[in-house]
Amino acid sequence: MDVLEDMIKKIVYDFGLVFYIHFKEPYVCLDFGLRTLRCDNDLEAMYDHVLTRVKLINIYVEHWRSTMMLH
């Protein structure tokens, strides 16, 4: 989780808190395009979008309890 941990530190969140990080796939609505980032491997899916020249990826942080069904 080195990359995720660094990302969290850069946006000034305490890594000891309970929270969930999600990103929205570009060109997909929020209802179907929200993907959970649980480890560095999950970042690869997000990075694939960067390789296709996507310039903006929305990242969401849920505090304490997630309302998403995690698979």
pLDDT one-digit tens code per residue, 12-49: 666 566 677 889 999 999 999 999 888 878 888 888 88
Q: What is the predicted pLDDT for the residue at 61?
A: 81
**Residues with Cβ < 8 Å from 19, sequence gap 6 or more?**
13, 61, 62, 63, 64
What pLDDT score was predicted for residue 25? 92
pLDDT in the model for residue 15: 57
Answer yes or no: pTM beyond 0.95: no
Q: How far apart are CA 46 and CA 7, in angstroms?
A: 14
